[in-house]
Amino acid sequence: MAAMSLNRAAILTWAFLVCASIATGLLIGGKGLSPAIVVSLILLIAVFKARMIVLHYMELKHAPLSWRLAFELWVVAAAALILGIWLFTGSAANCVAP
Amino acid sequence: MNERVTDTAEKPARRLPGVEGVWVFLAADMLFFTALFVSTMIGRRDAAEVFEAGRLTLDPNYGGINTLILLTSSWFVVLAVNAAKHDRLDEIPRWLLAAFGCGVAFGISKAFEYGTKLSAGITPASSDFYMYYFILTGFHLLHVIGGSVMLLVFWKMSRRRAFDSRRLAVLESGGLYWHMVDLLWIILFPLLYLMK
């Protein structure tokens, strides 16, 4: 029973991750949104996906809090660094014009 | 009834899977990739047009398929670890072989992708964008190759019944590494393929 519920949790996590990946695909194909919104949403989805892997596949959800927080912090920090540099170094500005 | 007793007595203890040294290794590896992510972004700042032109030559379908391959392969590794936790020993090699198959599929897809670039005369020397593209995806591919070899070794070990609920540490630690490879790709894919 316990094995079954663990496996059920694993397939739910996988299904969520696949749906999130499809959402990313729809976003990049979508029209009418500004690049800043699209890039922010793509990175937000990436953060959710990475956090799911950290918490459920790497099992940090039930690990000592310090390890859990360190890896969750990495996920947010990596995405924030990428988005922050993109927004504040003119990369975004270069792309707003068609 | 007896809620109070179960509240305290049945709360599972917090547990770090695998061995602690693996987590330190993963953290170091992830910080190394973070430095690569940041230098890519700084390179982009200095040559935004070159980066965008380069990015538009990448096929996001390859990246998307690779994402699905790695997510699925991570799932197979979770199933292998779950099987070991519950001593369903016959299941372990099956899931590990499936995860290994995904690793091979990722490698083949990457070989096709590199092939289309190289046959079009594109190399790491072609532009700053391609330098970062080949370095990041190349380092990541090395991780996939290393992880696939590990999964193959684990597959052989699991056939000899080397893993069970009391001998989990090696399988769990290797599984954690494989999940990290997935994790890095989830950041790397939008960084190179999707960000305008």
Complex prediction ipTM = 0.90
Find the closest chain A residue to B24 by CA distance: A67
Question: What's the predicted TM-score (pTM) here?
Answer: 0.91
Confidence of residue A91 (pLDDT cuts 50, 70, 90): low
Residue B7 counted as domain residue: no
pLDDT at A28: 86
Residue B3 counted as domain residue: no
pLDDT at A88: 87
Disruptive mutation site among B65, B178, B187, B189 for chain A (greatest number of A CBs within 10 Å):
B187
- Region A66-94 average pLDDT: 88
CATH code of the domain in which B177 resides: 1.20.120.80
Residue B2 counted as domain residue: no
Give start and end residues of each alpha helix (H) in A1-98: 2-29, 35-52, 65-88, 91-96
pLDDT, tens digit (0-9, with 9 covering 90-100), for B88-127: 999 999 999 999 999 999 999 999 999 999 999 999 999 9
More confident residue, A25 or A92: A25
Residues of chain B under the 70 pLDDT cut: 1-11
- Asked whether the beta carbons of B44 and A84 are under 8 A apart, the reply is no
Residue B90 counted as domain residue: yes
- Asked whether the beta carbons of A3 and B83 are under 8 A apart, the reply is yes
Share of chain A above pLDDT 70, in %: 87
Give chain B's length. Answer: 196
Residue B1 counted as domain residue: no
Question: What residue numbers bound the domain in which B75 lies?
Answer: 18-194
Q: Which of A11, A75, A85 sits opposite B42 (nearest CB)?
A: A85
Number of structural domains in chain B: 1
Q: Indicate the DSSP class of residue B125.
A: T
2-61 of A, contacting B, C-beta below 8 A: 2-3, 6-7, 10-11, 13-14, 17-18, 21, 24-25, 28, 35, 38-39, 42-43, 46, 49-50, 53-54, 57-59
* Rounded Cα gap, residues B166 and B176, in angstroms: 18
Share of chain B above pLDDT 70, in %: 94
pLDDT, tens digit (0-9, with 9 covering 90-100), for A6-51: 888 999 999 999 999 999 998 887 778 888 899 999 999 999 999 9
Residue B9 counted as domain residue: no
Instruction: Give which of A70, A75, A62 is closest to A6, Cα–Cα.
Output: A62
> Which residues neighbour A11 within 8 Å (Cβ) at sequence distance 6 or greater?
B75
Instruction: Give which of B176, B124, B174, B167 is closest to B149, Cα–Cα.
Output: B174
